[in-house]
Amino acid sequence: MVIACDTLLLLTVGPTVSKRCLKEEGHVARVTVIGTGYVGLVSGVCLANSGHDVTCVDIDPAKVAQLTSGRSTIYEPGIEELLVAGLANGTLRFTTPSDGWAPLIGDITFVAVGTPMAANGAADLSQVRAVVADLAAAADRPFILVMKSTVPPGTGATVKSRNLSDAAVPIAYVSNPEFLREGHAVADWYHTDRIVLGSDDSSALAAVCELYADIDAPILETDTASAETIKYASNAFLSTKISFINEIANLCDAIGADIDSVSTGIGMDTRIGPAFLKAGIGYGGSCFPKDTRALDFIATLNGYQFTLLKSVIEVNNRQRLLPVIHLARAIPDLHERTVAVLGLSFKPDTDDVREAPAVDIVPLLAEGGANVVVYDPIAAHIPLEDATRVATVWEALDGASAAIVTTEWPEFRDLDWARARSMMHDPALVYDGRNCLDGDTLRAAGIEYMAVGRQGAHRASI
Ligand code: UGA
């Protein structure tokens, strides 16, 4: 078959994937990162560590002062070492925009400010809009604006038409979503599965690509709306895997199968893969809950009913209530008992409690009348009106009739459960909301062990 030249062209139009970006010998980019939250700080520190000249800007002078003194504002393994190194070798600095934006704008300027969830479920873009407007108004020479904040599909097009087209100088726009997990962000920066760049400006794409020349990852170059969608679709798909396996776990509870075996068995299919098939009380954090709701919102806004995504969200909302439902069934006078909640953060290796299951579980238990005692090895800043906060796991378990493991901190996995049993009151029930404990060890210690879809665990169906 002969394919005409123009047909061939059509067939090759679409995203391009390249193995590596080429870096000009000795090339150092002047980079600005706006926002020193979790994404901005990791990006700035890692880009400086690659030898780029990086200025990080934040409106909060206290943060800027702390970072300038070499102390990280987030709990993230490896970040402080890189921060200190960048400050010491002069590739990294922090400042506020108090003297105006114009001198701060780098050849490549990343926007990494927050896009929290608005009351209606949409992403609140007020910080992004304000920064983009400031940059466009202040720019006195051309630069590339890289959007690192998670913004809904269509945002790039709006920013270009509303802000950048009116600027006094040309400003190119590149969408560059992040795929960093909290607690692994530095490692994820260097060992990412892919770098996604979305723009209609090929020279801007090439310049941003060059920033990542030392990272051994495939680069996907596409249009802006597709890059924005890749970010949301990735988080929505991972959330879907979690809600799916949680429903299978609930089914395992009902029919007597074991979720550990089922997860392993389906994960062995390379088309499915083993990741994100850990059943439990569902996903939390600053990303999955916010991004799934924002994607649902943007779909509805565009006239599409994303039925599957709505179910994923609903399943997750219900899943985190399971420990309270099961405990109330197992201990009828729960309102007169002490319940220990072990773990506040939405996952281990972070102090982040945003959308963490514990944040819903604690008030629910307290409203039911239980005396709630909470322990977390790191997360310390959450205000807890409904519960007593203690400094050790033993204080939490002392006199508790039940405990709920809400975060799979290694400390809980490796706990002396016989000692725990000796301190707990009957029925000494432990609800393992993360399926992270060894049920046999707990049962051998005389503890009544409940988990999510695990065989041998005390069963209770929804
Ligand atoms: C997530 C994504 O994994 C990152 O790729 C993305 O960049 C980031 O959101 C973001 O959008 O900024 P993160 O929220 O840090 O990262 O946390 P994950 O490690 O993905 O875990 C999310 C939640 O899912 C946690 O509550 C975790 O306990 C839960 N989870 C995860 C499960 O319940 N089961 C699993 O099998 C995996």
Compute the distance between CA of residue 81 and CA of residue 332 in angstroms, rounded to an integer: 51
Helix (H, G, I), strand (E, B) or coil at 55: strand
40 lines ligand 1 (CB under 6 A): no
State the closest ligand 1 atom to the C-alpha of 242, by its place in the atom list counted from 1.
34
What is the DSSP secondary structure assignment for residue 215, as one 8-state letter? S
Compute the distance between CA of residue 321 and CA of residue 330 in angstroms, rounded to an integer: 15
Q: Which of 151, 181, 278 to mutate for ligand 1's pocket (most ligand atoms within 8 Å of CB)?
A: 181
Q: Where are the alpha helices (DSSP H) in 199-282?
A: 202-211, 224-255, 259-267
Compute the distance between CA of residue 186 and CA of residue 208 in angstroms, rounded to an integer: 19
Element (H, E) at 17: strand 16-18
State the closest ligand 1 atom to the C-alpha of 177, by its place in the atom list counted from 1.
7
Angle at 136 between CA 134 and CA 140, to 5 degrees: 110
Q: Which of 242, 259, 315, 349 to mutate for ligand 1's pocket (most ligand atoms within 8 Å of CB)?
A: 242
Ligand 1: centre distance to CA 161 (Å): 33
pLDDT of residue 457: 66
- Kindly report, residue by residue over 104-134, the tens digit of the pLDDT: 999 999 999 999 999 998 999 999 999 999 9
**Protein residue closest via CA to atom 16 of ligand 1:** 181
Are 144 and 176 in contact by the 8 Å Cβ rule? The answer is no
Compute the distance between CA of residue 252 and CA of residue 46 in angstroms, rounded to an integer: 43
- Whether cis (ω within 30° of 0) applies to the bond prior to 427 is yes
Q: Please identify every residue annotated as catalytic.
A: 287
pLDDT of residue 367: 94
**Protein residue closest via CA to atom 19 of ligand 1:** 181
pLDDT in tens, the chain (462 residues): 233 333 333 333 467 777 556 555 556 789 999 999 999 999 999 999 999 999 999 999 999 999 999 999 988 899 999 999 999 999 999 999 999 999 999 999 999 999 999 999 899 999 999 999 999 999 999 999 999 999 999 999 999 999 999 999 999 999 999 999 998 999 999 999 999 999 999 999 999 999 999 999 999 999 999 999 999 999 999 999 999 999 999 999 999 999 999 999 999 999 999 999 999 999 999 999 999 999 999 999 999 999 999 999 999 999 999 999 999 999 999 999 999 999 999 999 888 899 999 999 999 999 999 999 999 998 866 667 889 999 999 999 999 999 999 999 999 999 999 999 999 999 999 999 999 999 999 999 999 999 999 987 655 544
β-strands 143-147, 53-57 pairing: unpaired
**Protein residue closest via CA to atom 13 of ligand 1:** 181
114 lines ligand 1 (CB under 6 A): no
R_g over Cα of the chain:
25
Sheet holding 388-389, edge to edge: 388-389, 371-375, 338-342, 402-405, 429-432, 448-451
The full DSSP string for 173-192 is EEE----PPTTSHHHHHHT-
**How many Cβ atoms sit within 10 Å of the Cβ of residue 304?**
10
Burial 409-438 (b: 16+ CB within 10 A, else e): bebbeebebeebbeebeeebbbbbbbbbbe
Are 96 and 61 in contact by the 8 Å Cβ rule? The answer is yes
Are 427 and 399 in contact by the 8 Å Cβ rule? The answer is no
180 lines ligand 1 (CB under 6 A): yes
Helix (H, G, I), strand (E, B) or coil at 227: helix
What is the crossing angle of helices 38-49 and 79-89, to 10°? 50
pLDDT of residue 23: 57
Are 356 and 284 in contact by the 8 Å Cβ rule? The answer is yes
Cβ neighbours of residue 1 under 8 Å, at least 6 residues apart?
A: none
Q: Where are the strands (E) in 331-461, listed by range? A: 338-342, 371-375, 388-389, 402-405, 429-432, 448-451
pLDDT of residue 5: 31
Helix (H, G, I), strand (E, B) or coil at 404: strand
Are 177 and 205 in contact by the 8 Å Cβ rule? The answer is no
pLDDT of residue 27: 64
Helix (H, G, I), strand (E, B) or coil at 149: coil
346 lines ligand 1 (CB under 6 A): yes
Query: Which residues, in sequence order, are bridge partners of residue 431?
Result: 404, 450
Residue count of the chain, please give it. Answer: 462
Distances (CA, A) of 120 to 123, 297, 367: 9, 8, 26
Are 363 and 386 in contact by the 8 Å Cβ rule? The answer is yes
Burial 331-342 (b: 16+ CB within 10 A, else e): beebeebbbbbb
Q: Which of 287, 318, 322 to mutate for ligand 1's pocket (most ligand atoms within 8 Å of CB)?
A: 287
pLDDT of residue 9: 35
* CA-wise closest residue to 358 among 340, 371, 346: 346
Q: Which domains does the chain have, with CATH numbers?
A: 16-222 (3.40.50.720), 227-462 (3.40.50.720)
Ligand 1: centre distance to CA 181 (Å): 6
115 lines ligand 1 (CB under 6 A): no
Are 178 and 140 in contact by the 8 Å Cβ rule? The answer is no
